[in-house]
Structure 1
Amino acid sequence: MVVADRTEGETMVDPGRRAALAALSPAAAGLTPCPAASASTPEAAASGRTEWRSGRAPAGPCPPAELLGDEIRRIPTSRKVVALTFNAAWDESGIDTVLGELRRRKLSATFFPTGRFAEEHPAAVRAMGAAHGLGNHSYSHLYFDELSTEERAQEVRRADAAIRAASGAEPLPFFRFPYGATSEESVADVNDLGYAAIEFTTDTNGYLGPAGGMSVDEATRRAVDALTPGAILQMHVGSTGDGVVIDAQALPRIIDAVREEGYEVVDLRGLMPG
């Protein structure tokens, strides 16, 4: 499990809001049972724990049982395939470049916007969802290992509502933890909400930008060094203010390098049944 260092601008939960959220139960919070998840494993069935998901219409599909119970850091396969994923929590820098390159290459990726990003940049989320899968990256990018079960549910539900409203599309039942800050309890909580915890094999670290010592060469190297059957690459769109998006610049080289290593780029939507 990966826990990144705290960064500037992190949002703290107000004590009064914490108390209000603590009074919620999944049913009171508007969640509905996720039957496929409820029967995910014998252990889950024996525990008597009910799996839940957002009750906001339209109700989406539950994740397949094999994606529940732990965080997913690679696609379960022996094939030489790799999935491209992008988190979106800042501004719109680099988004057009990434979407244009994927369109030119006829490739699909999965985007994980935060709910706040969806509210502030609905056109960008709509463009992502028009051609690619959308996951859930929480509403306000909090550290989930510091939240209660009820607070996690609130973050996931608010993000779900915002992403649906912005995109007009059905998001995937995939959740990615802010900062990669996972724990057994928090993974169980998002599973209970009807989401698989989709993490990553490696992050290119392009989000650090030139000020953080990153370059296109280094982002590409990190992606290639992490290649393994079923690898999930995490990248980022947007910038923290300088407008430089290393991952957008590196994407063509990463795709070329992946293919040179004999890997095929696949769509995480293929993990869903049907």
Structure 2
Amino acid sequence: MTSPQRRLRRRTFLAAGAALALPPSGGSAAFRHPAAGAGPVTGRRGPADLFGKEIRLVPTGDPVVALTFNAAWNDDGIDAVLDELRNRDVPATFFLTGRFAEANPAAAEALAAEHGVASHSYSHPRLADLDRAGLREEVERADEAIRGATGTDPLPFYRFPYGETSPSAIAQVNALGYADIEFTDDTLGYLGEGGGVSVEDAADRAARAIRPGMILQMHLGSTETSGPNVDSRALPAVVDAVESRGYTVIDLASLARRPGGSRSRRHGGAQTRIRR
């Protein structure tokens, strides 16, 4: 992709992000903590039409999908992912933990320079281990860390660690100015070859999940047990599968704003999943 094309994509992404940062009807003041007399929490306005939901799929008849990556460990796979996205002219959204942004500021800045970045908490805790004050701290510290590392505002999206949500936690995150954006399916690439998931396994899982409005979750980084990052190596086959079926990868912010709203999952308590 040429430099003018990259600049055009960046302007397009920023326009989509700016649209998401404001309520659809103009809204009022910045979202405030529900406690009486509390001042602005993040100093931002959130996408109010996306609130009150655990968003996992955007209902649309159009053959479009969004690619997302979580980053909570190291920067393994980031260069390969950015190169592939750039060469294929494909957008993605990256959900960063605050600790990742602090430990890998150059990587976080590189991701934000070409794609959307959003919050995946500060320290990647289990939801059951947090009270209201703890969740608020996770959201606010992550926001500060991501802004500090990238020099830009993250998207008003929050993805809970481990896919664990609850109505009360979603409501609190919404009050802080963030929509809860989860995922339709996960490649399970974070397990790595050390955990029994090969590059081919991850790509096949993604291909089977393709449907209109899908939000695919993948991961960057690696651990001592996972081995080298799998999803970065599976990405070319994932994009091939999407395009061979006549689908188009679009930016998550644009997908979330498509007519028809978003499909949510409502439930009565925290949900525990193996996905990270």
TM range (shorter): 0.7 to 0.9
How many Å apart are 1:146 and its aligned residue? 3.1
Q: For 2:41 and 2:170, locate their aligned partners in 1 and report how far apart those are by CA, in whole Å.
A: 20
How many Å apart are 1:243 and its aligned residue? 4.9
Q: Which residue of 1 aligns with 2:249?
A: 265
Q: Which residue of 2 aligns with 1:101?
A: 84
How many Å apart are 1:269 and its aligned residue? 2.1
Q: Which residue of 2 aligns with 1:78?
A: 61
Taking the TM superposition and a 5 Å limit, the aligned residue runs for 1:87-98 are: 87-98=70-81
Q: For 2:39 and 2:140, locate their aligned partners in 1 and report how far apart those are by CA, in whole Å.
A: 8
Q: For 2:107 and 2:154, locate their aligned partners in 1 and report how far apart those are by CA, in whole Å.
A: 15
How many Å apart are 1:53 and its aligned residue? 9.7
Structure 1 stretches of at least 4 aligned residues deviating more than 3 Å after TM superposition = 34-37, 52-56
Structure 2 gap ranges (5+): 1-20, 28-33, 259-276
Comparing 75-84 with 251-260, greater Cα deviation is found at 75-84
Q: Classify the secondary structure of the residue corresponding to 2:177.
A: coil
CA displacement 1:203-249 (0-9 Å, x = unmatched)? 10001011111011111111111111100000000001365111000
Determine if contact 2:71/2:219 at 8 Å carries over to the other structure: yes
Q: For 1:35 and 1:167, locate their aligned partners in 2 and report how far apart those are by CA, in whole Å.
A: 21
Q: Which residue of 1 aligns with 2:200?
A: 217
How many Å apart are 1:60 and its aligned residue? 3.8
Q: For 1:35 and 1:82, locate their aligned partners in 2 and report how far apart those are by CA, in whole Å.
A: 23
Q: Which residue of 2 aligns with 1:165?
A: 148
Determine if contact 2:44/2:177 at 8 Å carries over to the other structure: no
How many Å apart are 1:109 and its aligned residue? 0.5
How many Å apart are 1:127 and its aligned residue? 0.3
How many Å apart are 1:84 and its aligned residue? 0.3
TM-score scaled by structure 1? Answer: 0.78
Taking the TM superposition and a 5 Å limit, the aligned residue runs for 1:22-101 are: 36=23, 55-56=41-42, 59-65=43-49, 67-101=50-84
Taking the TM superposition and a 5 Å limit, the aligned residue runs for 1:159-238 are: 159-238=142-221
Q: For 1:35 and 1:170, locate their aligned partners in 2 and report how far apart those are by CA, in whole Å.
A: 13
Determine if contact 1:62/1:194 at 8 Å carries over to the other structure: yes
Taking the TM superposition and a 5 Å limit, the aligned residue runs for 1:114-125 are: 114-125=97-108
CA displacement 1:32-65 (0-9 Å, x = unmatched)? xx9949x99xxxxxxx999x99745xx4441141
1:251 corresponds to which letter in structure 2? L
Q: For 1:175 and 1:98, locate their aligned partners in 2 and report how far apart those are by CA, in whole Å.
A: 22
Task: Tell whether 2:134 aligns with 1:151.
Answer: yes
CA displacement 1:52-84 (0-9 Å, x = unmatched)? 99745xx4441141x111110012322111100
Q: Which residue of 1 aligns with 2:17?
A: none
How many Å apart are 1:189 and its aligned residue? 1.3
CA displacement 1:85-118 (0-9 Å, x = unmatched)? 0000001100000011001111110000100000
1:195 corresponds to which letter in structure 2? Y
Q: Classify the secondary structure of the residue corresponding to 1:162.
A: helix
Give the one of 113, 120, 125 matched to 2:96: 113
C-alpha distance 130-35 of structure 1, shift in aligned 2 (>3 A): closer
How many Å apart are 1:171 and its aligned residue? 0.5
Q: For 1:53 and 1:97, locate their aligned partners in 2 and report how far apart those are by CA, in whole Å.
A: 42
Q: For 1:213 and 1:69, locate their aligned partners in 2 and report how far apart those are by CA, in whole Å.
A: 36
Q: Classify the secondary structure of the residue corresponding to 2:55.
A: coil
Determine if contact 1:145/1:183 at 8 Å carries over to the other structure: no
Task: Give me the identity figure in percent.
Answer: 52
Q: For 2:60 and 2:72, locate their aligned partners in 1 and report how far apart those are by CA, in whole Å.
A: 30
C-alpha distance 113-217 of structure 1, shift in aligned 2 (>3 A): same
How many residues matched?
A: 229
Task: Tell whether 2:117 aligns with 1:134.
Answer: yes
Q: Classify the secondary structure of the residue corresponding to 1:85.
A: strand
